[in-house]
Structure 1
Amino acid sequence: MSGRRPDLEFFTSVKAKEVKFGKVPERRKVTYYGEPGHETEVDVQRENIPEEPEEGVTYRDVKVDWAVEQWVVHPAEDEDFEAEDVAREVEERRTREAEAD
C-alpha cells in the first residue's frame, strides 16, 4: 500500500516432526472488519504440507508460516473524502462520549 509501512504486523510459525489428519479440517476464511477502514495482506508459506492436506496421509518435517500486514485507511485517504463527513463523524463521536459519561 503506497510504500507505507503497515500499521499492524503479525507473524506466527508452527513446526511439527509429523502430522497426520484423521479427518481433514474444514477450511476457514479469516475475516477482518472494523472501523476505520483498512487494507489487509496475508501470506501463508508451507513446507512439506499441501494447502489441501489428505486424510490419513502422514506429512513429515512440516512448517507453516502465517503473516498478516494491515494498513489503517483514514477517511481522508478515500477518494470520496468530504470534510463535512469528518466533521459529522467527530460530532457524532463527541455526542456518544457525552452520553456515556
Structure 2
Amino acid sequence: MKATVNGTVVAEAPESELVGIEGNHYFPPSSLTSGAFTESATQYTCPWKGHAQYWDVVTDGETHRDAAWSYPEPFAGAAEKVGHDFAGYVAFDKSQVSIG
C-alpha cells in the first residue's frame, strides 16, 4: 500500500505491515520516504492513544501542514486495545495524502 502526495510516494509497505486504527492506516516507520517529513509544532493528545507528534509532509518543494501524525510513546494499554504495537507508526490526513 502506498501513501502519495500529488503522485509522489511518501510511504510504502505491504498491507500486512499496516496497523488499522479508527479508519486510518498507520504505516511502519521503516516505510517512510526519507526527507519527506519535518516535525510540526501542532499538539494533540488522544485520550487513549497518547500524545501525538504531527508531521508536515514536503514534496516537490511544497509543504503539506500536519499531513501526518504518529504516537511515539502510546499510553499503557493502547497497543493491547489495538492488538499491535503502533509506536512510531504514521497515519495520514486523507484530505492531503492519498492512500491506496
Instruction: Give TM-score, length-normalised by structure 1.
Output: 0.25
Which structure exhibits the higher relative contact order, with contacts defined as CA atoms closer than 8 Å and separated by 6 or more residues?
1
- Max radius of gyration: which structure? 1
TM score, norm. by length of structure 2: 0.25
- Structure with greater helix percent: 1
